[in-house]
Chain A
């Protein structure tokens, strides 16, 4: 199979790939976004005057499975990158699709969780917990959705033979985004779900 010609590599004066440098700067800005959302959640923690309260509604076993799912998706992502870098596009496609699939499972779990909460009376307007919880986890869910679309795009390009070892940096940058989404969830799982 022939692969597309590698994308032009632009190195900065420091000898680093400019796309990767820009993406790390973007991830840095995302740290500030999620930092502000997590801070807001913590500031209003325990200040709701009406229920439902976190300990009444959060389902730890269910969310633990979602956390495991996202951790495994990160493993699939690095295996996809390793496969693309060594030119093994068969496994590259399998791991890329697996990553996207696990991302979709996570989003599905979040949809089920949100629906259940709404049925139990927790909405954005119910109390401070509902407002800060839905904004924080919803923003994270939106990031996961973007990541899944990005992964599926790469997978389709791989199926078309337009993704090869020459485009490994594209896969690596996608991976950086995906792993960042994972580390944000590591923090949210602890701060929101386990420390009640």
Chain B
């Protein structure tokens, strides 16, 4: 088994932290910019969700050290996160989707 101290302490350097912060700021500026540019409005939702997902991933991987830490921590965080996202998507389909049980029954 690998030395746990080595496995848990291989954290990024301050230089990496600063670069990640710069990327996060740029992505936030892009998000707000996209919101105000009418040309982006047809694709506003997917673009904003993608930018948000990139920011989320950067913070979790570099600032929360999941990139360097044990994969078990990734599982402890990722499994409930996937469950939460799955529940959210299922609820969206249930309340806004066209393929509802009531709709299918009505069609039949």
Interchain CB contact (< 8 A) of A15 among B7, B13, B51, B92: B7
Q: How far apart sit A179 and B58, CA to CA, in the bound complex (Å)?
A: 11
Interchain CB contact (< 8 A) of B73 among A21, A42, A75: A21
- Among residues of A, the one whose C-beta sits closest to the C-beta of B89 is A39
Quick check: which of A22-30, A130-138, A143-151 contacts chain B, the rest being far away?
A22-30
With a cutoff of 8 Å between Cβ atoms, the chain B residues found around residue A186 in the complex are: 52, 55-56, 59
Q: How many residues of A contact B (CB 8 A)?
A: 50
Q: How far apart sit A74 and B20, CA to CA, in the bound complex (Å)?
A: 11
With a cutoff of 8 Å between Cβ atoms, the chain A residues found around residue B32 in the complex are: 60-61, 64, 194
Interchain CB contact (< 8 A) of B1 among A15, A28, A78, A85: A15
Chain A interface main SS type: helix
Chain B interface main SS type: helix
- Among residues of A, the one whose C-beta sits closest to the C-beta of B62 is A78
With a cutoff of 8 Å between Cβ atoms, the chain B residues found around residue A187 in the complex are: 52, 56
B88 near A31 (CB under 8 angstroms)?
no
- Among residues of B, the one whose C-beta sits closest to the C-beta of A86 is B14
- Given the interface pairs A28-B81, A74-B63, A179-B63, the reply to whether A82 lies near B73 with Cβ below 8 Å is no
Q: How far apart sit A15 and B81, CA to CA, in the bound complex (Å)?
A: 24
Instruction: Count chain B CB atoms within 10 A of each CB in A14, A31, A68 and give the residue with the most.
Output: A31
B31 near A78 (CB under 8 angstroms)?
no
- Among residues of A, the one whose C-beta sits closest to the C-beta of B79 is A28
- Given the interface pairs A39-B88, A190-B48, the reply to whether A183 lies near B56 with Cβ below 8 Å is yes
8 A–B contact pairs at CB < 8 A? A16-B70, A27-B77, A28-B79, A35-B81, A35-B85, A179-B64, A187-B56, A189-B31
